[in-house]
Amino acid sequence: MSEPNHARRFGLIWLVATLVATPLVVVLLGPELPPGNGSQQASGQVTDNTVLLGMATPVLLLVLIYLIYAVIYFRQPKGAVLEGPAIRGDARIQTTWIIVTSVLVLSLAAYGTVRLLSDNGAGSGSGPTPLTVPSGPKLRVQVIAQQWAFTYRYPAYGGVEVPHLVLPVNRMVELHVTSLDVIHSFWARQLAVKADANPQVDNIAFVEPTHVGTFDVRCAELCGIWHGEMFDHGQVVSQSAFNTWIRGAQVAYGPATKLLPPYSRTYQPLPARRGG
């Protein structure tokens, strides 16, 4: 009995599986991927994750099908101890492998770069001078981290500082993230924003919430023993509700506002007598 053409047979199985599975993964699983659609940036990240998964599916199938195929067709017969033929270099396979993996990796790098630039950082902290800035008016909000809590300052509203983040829906927000002590990371998961909070650094991230609701805020950088307690809940509200809320906050936190230093991109915390 002649040996079947394993390469052709394996290639055919893989091709059929890929043609069936990839669209299913993209269409059915894609919309369910994190972080959801809480903001323009979150929806963009869902698209990115779908593209990554779509490209990874054929690779995953290649490995899995090869493994299963090998177990079925190349396993050692019972009772026999066989040594396979010596493996020699195959220029065609090596060349194909290098070209395919290079194309995959380089295309992903190009896609990622384009997405980062076209989406103004795609929700990530872009440092004090972002490469791209969204056009139009933006609401500036400063995120101030310290061990172990976040507070938020609104320079356009008298520099009022509040303990919980509230944002208006469908409005571009310019987050300025900084820290008063050690390194932290501001992560609003449902809004798909994550930006390092470093002392003496103004780390800018852009986000446009698209749905009214609540979101979680967590520190994503191990910042001390109570890092796990550094969490909070924020709210996305309508523009009119935001206007009402900020007016109330200006009154409620008016006494604290009088104590605050003038708004600044970063702060050198005083007093000089601090511990240490």
Partner 1 sequence: MKKVLGVGTAVAVLGVLIGLYVADWATSFPKTVAATSAPASSGGANLTLETVAAIGGKYSPTHPSWVSYLVRSGGQWVHSTDFTVPANSIVHVTIYQFDTPTGLRNAFLGQVQGTVGGTATVDGKTVNTVEPEEASHTFAVPELGVFVPLPGVPEESKHLCEEAPCEPSTSDHRTITFSFRTGKKGRYHWQCFVPCGAGWLFGNGGPMQTLGYMDGFIDVV
Q: Encoding tokens for residue 111?
A: 């896609």
The single residue listed with the structure tokens 């809320």 is 245
Give kind and range of the element (H or E) at residue 236.
strand 231-237
Q: Phi and psi (nearest 5°) for 201?
A: -125, 135
Select the residue interacting with partner 1 from 4, 240, 259, 262 (CB under 8 A): 259
Binding status of residue 151 toward partner 1 by CB under 8 A: yes
Binding status of residue 210 toward partner 1 by CB under 8 A: no
Region class of 167: left (phi > 0), else alpha (psi between -120 and 50), else beta: beta
Piece of the chain touching partner 1 by CB under 8 A; list 38-46, 102-110, 142-150, 169-177: 142-150
Piece of the chain touching partner 1 by CB under 8 A; list 23-31, 35-43, 99-107, 145-153: 145-153
Binding status of residue 182 toward partner 1 by CB under 8 A: yes
Piece of the chain touching partner 1 by CB under 8 A; list 34-42, 46-54, 90-98, 252-260: 252-260
Region class of 185: left (phi > 0), else alpha (psi between -120 and 50), else beta: beta
Taking a C-beta distance cutoff of 8 angstroms, is the pair 165, 217 a contact? yes
Binding status of residue 226 toward partner 1 by CB under 8 A: yes
C-alpha–C-alpha distance, residues 239 and 170, integer Å: 8
Point out which residues bind partner 1 (CB under 8 A).
144, 146-149, 151, 161, 163, 180-182, 224-226, 229, 232, 252-253, 255-256, 258-261, 269-271, 273-276
